[in-house]
Amino acid sequence: MRDKCGIMGIHSTNKDFDVSSLIYYGLYALQHRGQESAGIATFNHDSGLNYYCGMGLLTDVFKDDQIKNLVGNVGIGHVRYSTTGKSKLENSQPFVTDFDDGFISIAHNGDIVNSARLRKELIQDGYEFQSDTDSEVLCYLIKREHEKNDNIIEVLETISKDIVGSYSLTILINNDLYIIRDPRAIKPLVLGKKDNVYIAASETVALDVINAEYIRDLEPGEIVYFDGDEVKSHILEIAGKFPLARCMFEYVYFARPDSIIDGKTVYEVRKKIGEKLYEEYPIDDADVVMPVPDSSIPAAIGYSRASGIPYAEGLIKNRYVGRTFIMPTQEEREMAVKLKVNPLASELKDKKIVLIDDSIVRGTTSESLIDVLKASGAKEVHLMIGCPPVISPCYYGVAMATKKELIAANFSVEEIRQKLGAETLGYITIEDLIDAIGFDREELCLGCITEEYPTCIPDTATPESYYKF
């Protein structure tokens, strides 16, 4: 399961101040949101656009000299997981294209579900695409409209009426920075400040790491931009015409637990998820409660505190492992799992374990984990899941799977339990998840667990063709 992506935008009123190092460290804090590529674009009044991107982790892409060469008092940054568009250098961001009077650079978190139609229209208008991303589509939409209108706010108003999907954006147009959140607020975006420097980021942790003050989350459909020393705000005309649809997976899995999204502390939400799981599935004779690291740790703490069952870490995560091959044999699959999480036999032998995980998508990892736990001496494994059954694909930036690959879309809970080899399988209910997050049902996107999406989904946007791995 993959999420797209992490973004930064920084504006300093001091033209002699270089923002690239702040962007770098902010992106470092957002590395969990994207590990396939990274990029930074800055603007300097003397040298103009400075831009660099590459494949891999932030530390693989950027060295000291490259950061120093990215001079400029305004800039944007991006870390990427691929959803719409394959994992290759041409699809890395920020995406940059020329204007007649300069350039535009864009960093995008989300997915434009009608990008195929928009791309076709742009090609008919003579635009030549260098990538297969929807972010390049956004660039050319802005470019096309800008040829008719110099007012960027009006340009953004116009294209907002034509795009369907999720988007948090940082846009650099020459020396001007624009920060935008979609009208449904599907993807998070926050604003902060450090001295005379304003920062936009996907999560508050990016502000924390650079000692910036959190100001607020962007409103649904809001554009934040700068006029000299003045910070200005514009609300898109289409804002308020749609129900909100905050992605529930941000709270369940994607965001770091130390982030705050729309006023909700992710750690507290996940801890409450664990408490709800205990209320629904009390395994009072269990010996220990264990998380599947890392995103499930707060939920496991919540279950442990609610039940009084001791918390223990029986799976130790190797944080330096990339992707593993799909292994054909059971022995090889277990080996691949152990590369990522190694069992601590002393905590497992002869124990009845409540194992907490954030979600089940295909079920292959859960099955292998339970096999590994039992091979290490666990007597029983009672698996509790902090997300209701995922029965439908996501079209808004979560490349989880096609419907035929989603285990909960094809099997009952009891059938899944048997396939996984768990003594108990318990999913949090939709109602309990909503309560744990703390927003009304009408304010959340629950499409992957209800098949009720906040936007129309074009017939061409089937997961089989939409996500290109």
The residues that are catalytic are 5
- Say if residue 5 is preceded by a cis peptide, omega within 30 of 0: yes
Q: How many CB atoms lie within 10 A of CB 45?
A: 13
Can you tell me the distance from the alpha carbon of 407 to that of 426, in angstroms, rounded to the nearest whole number? 15
Can you tell me the distance from the alpha carbon of 341 to that of 369, in angstroms, rounded to the nearest whole number? 8
Of 184, 231, 177, 233, nearest to 201 (Cα)? 177
The Cβ-side half-sphere exposure at 394, using a 13 Å CA radius, reads: 26
